[in-house]
């Protein structure tokens, strides 16, 4: 065989390789691995950006699920008393909820509207008195610095009020939460099957177990939260309006308003209790030292009763969240999403905890099956 024939055949083989190989194909396995990693990171970053872009919409959907869990819990509770269809029980819960808000609006409008108008002025006067007392005790306070702090606080309160009014006044958001929550509460299995159908067959059973545990945890969490709100609001009103005159202190001003604020703020653990306690103490000291000390004692009594009796009775073995972790999640969610983030931080943290616990169980089960197979071999 001549050199020219060999070189011709080699040239033909090289040409065929060049034609058959895609220009975008990477032959080096190390470079191919790095490119694959780069694509994975780009995909992860893209998903994170997409999640941030639609995060508020996702949070509204999660709020609807929380509302659905509250309706579902009420319907299940009625099922223990009334042996009727689930749809009728859901309807009874919705009607009761509507009547309660109508009564609350009527009571607030007829009873505490004047108190609510006087409340900011009273708080400002009490803060001024507190500052004068501090200066009388020799505590030096820079007036210019104090004005800056007051401006910052006023700006923060204005931002908070704007965010709250924007959320509460967003008719579209509220309607979406109500509609989605009602649909999910009426027939939750339908949506659970729909999501499970999109998953691989081998993961559907695990998904159903996880969803069932999340729903159970969310129902218990919301039951404890609602019961805590009712107990704190009721006890606050009884202690401030009825018990205070019996012990010779006199009725605490704005008892009805303080009771409603305490009950509503109880939905937000940690932060709500601090805010309600400060407001209660400021109003109490407007009636004198004895009344102020009495309101502080009432605050600690109610918080301890709710924390050590009511919540453990409802959710002791279901929701075990560290207070520091809950507070941190509230601060982060508040910065990212405002008031609605603070309200939903605790339920979202509970759902993440359930998902992580289920994941740990699956990993332990796989490790156990692997050990058994190795020992059998």
- Please list, in sequence order, all residues whose beta carbon lies within 8 angstroms of the beta carbon of residue 349, skipping any fewer than 6 positions away: 321, 325, 326, 329
pTM, two decimals, is 0.70
Instruction: Read off the DSSP letter of residue 251.
Output: P
Both structure tokens of 48? 């994170």
pLDDT at residue number 238: 92
- Burial-class residue 206 by CB neighbours within 10 Å (0-12, 13-18, 19+): middle
**How many residues would you count in the chain?**
377
- Please list, in sequence order, all residues whose beta carbon lies within 8 angstroms of the beta carbon of residue 123, skipping any fewer than 6 positions away: 279, 282, 283
Q: What is the pLDDT of residues 60-85, one digit of tens each?
A: 889 899 999 999 999 998 988 888 88
| CA pair distance 114, 257, nearest whole angstrom | 10
Q: In 3D, which of 332, 372, 371, 377 has the Cα closest to residue 352?
A: 332
Residue 254: CB atoms within 10 A of its CB come to 23
Q: In 3D, which of 97, 77, 75, 94 has the Cα closest to residue 85?
A: 75
| CA pair distance 55, 271, nearest whole angstrom | 23
pLDDT at residue number 159: 44
pLDDT at residue number 319: 64
Q: Which residues of the chain have pLDDT under 50?
A: 4, 6-20, 150, 153-169
HEC per residue, the chain:
CCHHHHHHHHHHHHHHHHHHCCCCCCCCHHHHHHHHHHHHHHHHHHHHHHHHHCHHHHHHHHHHHHHHHHHHHHHHHHHCCCCCCHHHHHHHHHHHHHHHHHHHHHHHHHHCHHHHHHHHHHHHHHHHHHHHHHHHCCCCCCHHHHHHHHHHHHHHHHHHHHHHHHHHHCHHHHHHHHHHHHHHHHCHHHHHHHHHHCCCHHHHHHHHHHHHHHHHHHHHHHHHHHHHHHHHHHHHHHHHHHHHHHCCCCCCCCHHHHHHHHHHHCCCCCHHHHHHHHHHHHHHHCCCHHHHHHHHHHHHHHHHHHHHHHHHHHHCCCCCCCHHHHHHHHHHHHHHHCHHHHHHHHHHHHHHHHHHHHHHHHHHHHHHHHHHHHHHC
pLDDT at residue number 94: 92
pLDDT at residue number 297: 92
| CA pair distance 167, 67, nearest whole angstrom | 16
């Amino acid at each position: 065989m001549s050199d020219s024939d060999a070189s011709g055949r080699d040239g033909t083989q090289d040409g065929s390789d060049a034609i058959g190989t895609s220009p975008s194909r990477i032959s080096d396995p190390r470079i191919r691995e790095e490119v694959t990693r780069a694509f994975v990171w780009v995909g992860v970053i893209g998903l994170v950006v997409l999640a941030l872009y639609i995060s508020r919409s996702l949070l509204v959907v999660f709020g609807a699920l929380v509302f659905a869990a509250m309706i579902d819990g009420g319907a299940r509770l009625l099922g223990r008393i009334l042996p009727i269809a689930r749809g009728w029980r859901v309807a009874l819960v919705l009607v009761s909820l509507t009547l309660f808000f109508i009564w609350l609006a009527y009571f607030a409008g007829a009873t505490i509207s004047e108190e609510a108008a006087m409340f900011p002025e009273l708080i400002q006067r009490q803060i001024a008195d507190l500052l004068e007392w501090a200066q009388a005790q020799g505590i030096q306070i820079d007036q210019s610095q104090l004005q800056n702090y007051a401006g910052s606080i006023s700006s923060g309160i204005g931002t908070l009020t704007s965010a709250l009014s924007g959320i509460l006044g967003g008719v579209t958001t509220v309607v979406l939460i109500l509609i989605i929550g009602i649909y999910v509460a009426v027939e939750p299995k339908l949506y659970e099957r729909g999501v499970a159908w999109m998953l691989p067959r081998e993961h559907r059973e695990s998904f159903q177990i996880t969803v069932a545990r999340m729903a159970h945890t969310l129902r218990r969490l919301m039951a404890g939260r609602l019961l805590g709100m009712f107990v704190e609001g009721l006890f606050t009103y009884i202690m401030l309006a009825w018990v205070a005159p019996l012990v010779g202190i006199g009725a605490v001003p704005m008892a009805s308003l303080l009771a409603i604020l305490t009950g509503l703020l109880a939905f937000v653990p940690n932060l709500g209790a601090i805010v309600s306690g400060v407001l209660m103490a400021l109003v109490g000291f407007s009636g004198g030292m004895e009344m102020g000390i009495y309101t502080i004692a009432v605050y600690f009594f109610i918080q301890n009763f709710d924390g050590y009796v009511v919540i453990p009775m409802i959710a002791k073995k279901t929701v075990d969240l560290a207070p520091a972790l809950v507070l941190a999640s509230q601060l982060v969610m508040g910065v990212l999403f405002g008031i609605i983030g603070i309200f939903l931080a605790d339920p979202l943290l509970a759902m993440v905890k359930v998902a992580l616990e289920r994941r740990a169980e699956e990993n332990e089960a796989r490790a156990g099956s692997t050990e058994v197979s190795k020992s059998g071999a």
